[in-house]
């Protein structure tokens, strides 16, 4: 079984637990997800099966979208609603204008310090493992990109703890809980992430996601294959190149594809550093490769396979 299933991860399960559940249900040896969701966070979790696990790294690099809620006037030690309250104050005086101004300041390229409850490694250990031991370490800030940050609704204005519902599209590695905490600091009231759901991961959307119960029903009906998204569907944003039969074995062995081995190419659509799809003459996806400038013929590329199927 080869393909990707768009799973609606339920709250209360880790991403790896979901992957294990799917693997056992469908009796596949290889399975993996394309980007961790915290145990308490529901939403889109694409699960790759079989040889599709080879594209997980490319899918995990794609942008993600979320709907979240920021509650002002309180800070917690985990930056979300599962932690202990560290500080509380009355944020009832915050105006819509100040909130809108704060949100505008956190778009584009910004720096974030990974939270101690994250899976980032420090000297071989996950930060959340250190946090459970009561250890806090220095973390270097990382640059992330917020492509879109829109206020959907503000509730409870005038109360001590107003809530802001928002939509966000961001780069890989963005911590929404940290964004909420940073917004609270900017507003001078403190704040924490009180709700989050992932609505999109790369090409996979919440509206098309399948619950674990729905997947089980499909499997019991012998219709598991209908739940799979083919590799071509999720990689169709990459230019396609057809390999000549004479060069196919070399490519399958991970060797570079030079122009002489290209039957049909993507032409001017490809630039140095771009990823492309390599196909056999009979339409089989052979590899994902990167365009590299030819040191001998400067006006030509060669294509170095990075993932071979």
Query: CA 30, 32, 38 angle in degrees (round to 5)?
Result: 150
Q: Which residues contact 287 (CB under 8 A, 6 or more apart)?
A: 251, 252, 277, 278, 305, 306, 307, 308, 309
Burial class (CB in 10 A: 0-12, 13-18, 19+), 284: exposed
Domain 238-308 fold: 2.30.130
Q: What is the pLDDT of residues 61-77, one digit of tens each?
A: 889 999 999 999 999 99
For 3-61+204-233, which CATH class? alpha beta
At 4, give phi and psi (nearest 5°): -130, 135
Q: Determine phi and psi for 14, rounding to 5 degrees.
A: -75, 160
What are the pLDDT digits (tens) for 282-292?
989 999 999 99
Residues in the chain: 309
Is the per-residue pLDDT at 264 higher than 90? Answer: no
Which residues on neighbouring strands pair with residue 153, listed in sequence order? 165
The residues that are catalytic are 38
pLDDT band at 139 (very low <50, low <70, confident <90, very high): confident
Check residue 123 and give its pLDDT.
63
Q: Per-residue pLDDT averaged across 81-92, rounded? A: 94
What residues contact 60, with CB distance under 8 A and at least 6 apart? Answer: 34, 35, 172
| Residue from 9, 21, 67, 12 nearest 211 by CA | 9
Q: What is the pLDDT of residues 166-190, one digit of tens each?
A: 999 999 989 999 999 999 999 999 9
Residue with tokens 């799809």: 277
What whole-number distance in Å separates Cα of residue 274 and Cα of residue 258? 15
3-class SS letters over 160-216: CCCEEEEEEEECCCCCHHHHHHHHHHHHCCCEEEEEEEEEEECCEEHHHCECHHHHH
Degrees, nearest 5: CA angle 142-187-74: 90
Picking from 45-49, 83-87, 225-229, 266-270, which range would have the lowest pLDDT averaged per residue? 266-270
Mean pLDDT, rounded, of the chain? 90
Q: Is the pLDDT of residue 242 over 80?
A: yes
pLDDT score of 135 more than 80:
no
Q: For residue 87, what are the contacts with CB-CB under 8 A and spacing of at least 6?
A: 74, 75, 190
- Is the Cβ–Cβ distance between 30 and 49 less than 8 Å? yes
Q: How many CB atoms lie within 10 A of CB 308?
A: 16
Task: Quote the DSSP letter at residue 19.
Answer: H
**Residue ranges, CATH 3.30.2350.10, the chain:** 3-61+204-233, 64-201
Which residue has better confidence, 259 or 210? Answer: 210
CATH entry 3.50.50.60 includes domain 64-201: no
Per-residue pLDDT at 265: 80
CA atoms within 13 A on the CB side of 129: 8
């Amino acid at each position: 079984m080869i393909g990707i299933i768009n799973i609606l991860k339920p709250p209360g399960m880790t991403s790896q637990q979901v992957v294990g559940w799917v693997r056992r249900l469908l009796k596949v040896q290889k399975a993996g997800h394309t980007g961790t969701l915290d145990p308490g966070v529901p939403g889109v979790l694409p699960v790759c099966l079989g040889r599709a696990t080879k594209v997980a790294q490319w899918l995990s690099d794609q942008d993600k979208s979320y709907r979240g809620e920021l509650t002002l006037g309180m800070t917690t030690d985990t930056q979300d609603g599962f932690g202990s309250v560290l500080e509380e104050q009355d944020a009832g005086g915050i105006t819509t204008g100040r909130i809108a101004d704060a949100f505008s300041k956190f778009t584009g390229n910004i720096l974030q310090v990974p939270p101690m409850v994250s899976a980032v490694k420090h000297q071989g250990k996950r930060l959340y493992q250190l946090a459970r031991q009561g250890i806090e370490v220095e973390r270097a800030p990382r640059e992330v990109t917020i492509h879109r940050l829109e206020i959907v609704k503000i509730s409870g204005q005038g109360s001590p703890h107003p809530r802001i519902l928002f939509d966000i599209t961001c780069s890989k590695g963005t911590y929404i809980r940290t964004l909420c905490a940073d917004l609270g600091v900017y507003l001078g009231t403190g704040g924490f992430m009180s709700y989050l759901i992932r609505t999109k991961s790369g090409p996979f959307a919440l509206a098309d996601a399948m619950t674990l119960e729905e997947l089980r029903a499909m499997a019991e009906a012998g219709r598991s294959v209908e739940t799979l998204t083919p590799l071509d569907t999720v990689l169709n944003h990459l230019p396609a190149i057809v390999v000549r039969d004479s060069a196919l074995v070399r490519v399958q062995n991970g060797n570079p594809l030079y122009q002489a081995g290209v039957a049909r190419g993507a032409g001017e659509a490809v630039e140095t550093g771009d990823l492309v799809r390599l196909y056999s003459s009979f339409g089989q996806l052979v590899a994902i490769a990167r365009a590299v400038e030819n040191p001998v013929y400067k006006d030509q590329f060669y294509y170095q396979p990075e993932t071979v199927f």
